[in-house]
A and B are shown apart, each in its own frame.
Chain A
Amino acid sequence: MSIKVIHPGLLTTIQDLGRFGSQKFGVIVSGAMDPISLRIANLLVGNNEGEGALEITLLGTTLQFDTDELVAITGGDLQPTIDGEKAPMWRPVLIRKGSVLQFKSAINGCRAYVAFAGGIVVPEVMGSKSTYLRAAIGGLQGRALQKGDELDSGDSNPLSQAFVQQLEKMTAHFNWSVDYTEFISFDKTQTIRVLHGAEFERFDIESQQAFYSKPYKLTTQADRMGYRLDGEPLSLSEKFELLSEGVTYGTIQVPSNGQPIILMVDRQTTGGYPKIGQVISVDLPCLAQMQPNTNIQFKKFSLEQAEVELIKQEQLLRKLAMGIHFKALHK
């Protein structure tokens, strides 16, 4: 056993990019709330970008290493330290046998990701390592990490071995890190770009305007399933009942109390409340990193532009993957 959980923190789970293909049985997708930070963490240790990693939420988590491990820490800054010294983020880090990796509280963002070279050895459930707490499936026995848990990393590959060699020999020259600002921001107030939801036109004019002009506060009722917001109440011009249909990550539903709910990764597969908007994919990581009691400003966006942004982001990520590869092999 290589990594021991000394302190689990507020909520630490194993997540990958999600459980797809079983939504028709109502099986929730789950996965990393901030998929970009997860993918970058995996790339930095030579993994397949969709490998399972730890998602640490807001507070604490202390891990003790019983073997040398190549890791990468990305996402929100939860003040990670290794044996009391500030741990670098957004680059490969070699953690020595006997060392302790400790997280404190979030100074920005909400969720940190820790990827281990070779991934985390847990069985896949319906094709994914993602933990889905409510159904108790995936991850480590379907639950959050607990004190005393032990995690194993998988076999490392030549890319991660090259990083390990570099880190062992020339630590002083290993001074690069990924410029994450091209992918994500950790601002306290976020402008979140949205497309009109299917029922947008059925809200009254005042509500349509308020949705794009008034700030909405992220309440403390914000978890992996959904973010409940607080702001100008939104109302329909005429009340109606919808039949349930497919919803997705970032769908903004409005129940009859008028306060929007944004569906997150542990969302239900279908929903029946009117959909006023849909967060565009490239803004989901920023949304995932928001802390309770911070403000969202919605901004209208077009589908064509959202697609362009998404393709651009993917091209950037491909370039980043190549850059990381180059760093590993260039001695």
Chain B
Amino acid sequence: MAYQKINAHIRPLGDSALVIQLGDGISLAIHEKVKNISNLLEKEPFTGLIESVPSYNSLTIYYNPVAVFLSNTDKASASPYKKVSAIILSLLDQLETSETSEQRLITLPVVYGGEFGPDLEYVASYHGLSVEDVIEIHSSNEYLVYMIGFAPGFPFMGGMDERIATPRKDSPRLAITPGSVGIAGKQTGIYPLETPGGWQIIGRTPLDLFLPELSPPTLLQAGDRIRYVPITLEEYAVYKEMKQ
């Protein structure tokens, strides 16, 4: 495919990071652009680059402004933010759109509702559905892991049915049990560790998502395709035992 100019909006995230916004909403096409820029930056890092973090439709670039400042030969524009923005824009110019890369399909067992999914009934009543409907809808779609973020190994997945999209809780919970499967707007995801969080919790998986001894240290990675399979409490216990 020919070189194609990419539409992007760059904005600061404080004085040491910036966000490249590549579009709105959750779409595969935008996600591919995010991945391509991330790859290009990894291949051609600029002086002062610390790391980049992809999300659905943007890429956050963390840099050391002092290192950028010192590497700047053009003293007329001393602002590290302006300097990094200029570098990013020139990278975007040489960006090539590429084919969709190959993806893994992973199935994740989940116990829905009850003590493991305290917000399942709220999600159902919010949409005027039965609890069974919500489980059926949530476990029948295939999801794409767009990003890992928030906590080590936390997968943010797109592809969820609008019929069960539910806003975050007004005030985040202080502690969510590891393995909890949640919904926030049109996203679904899983909490790998005990952390505070504002997503609506509908179930729990017995699998470990953060594996610090492995490299990469996560069960799921951006680009994976996911299916949820409802299981019973007994099956959950069997999975947990298998891990021991």
Contact = CB atoms under 8 A, between A and B. Distances in A.
A240 B52 CA distance: 26
Given A281-B16, A310-B65, A26 B56 contact: no
A49 B59 CA distance: 30
Contact of B62 (A20, A27, A279, A304): A20
Contacts of A278: 12-14
Nearest to A304: B79
A222 to B, nearest CB: 13
A27 B15 contact: no
B19 interface: yes
A241 B210 CA distance: 27
Contacts of B139: none
A247 B81 CA distance: 16
Interface residues of B, number: 62
Given A246-B53, A269-B53, A311-B66, A306 B15 contact: yes
A313 to B, nearest CB: 9
A23 B54 CA distance: 9
A118 to B, nearest CB: 26
A183 to B, nearest CB: 15
Contacts of B133: none
B180 interface: no
A130 interface: no
B154 A26 contact: yes
Contacts, number: 171
Contacts of B79: 303-304, 307
Contacts of A268: 149-151, 154, 195
A306 B38 CA distance: 27
Contacts of A306: 14-15
A21 interface: yes
A268 B194 CA distance: 12
Given A241-B185, A257-B171, A280-B15, A27 B152 contact: yes
Contact of A270 (B14, B149, B194): B149
Contacts of B206: none
Interface of A: 20-28, 125-126, 134-135, 137, 195, 198, 221, 225-226, 241, 243-248, 250-251, 255-257, 268-273, 278-281, 303-304, 306-307, 310-311, 314
Interface of B: 11-17, 19, 25-26, 38, 50-60, 62, 65-66, 69, 78-81, 147-154, 156, 167-168, 170-172, 174, 184-187, 192-196, 198, 210, 212, 216-218, 221-222
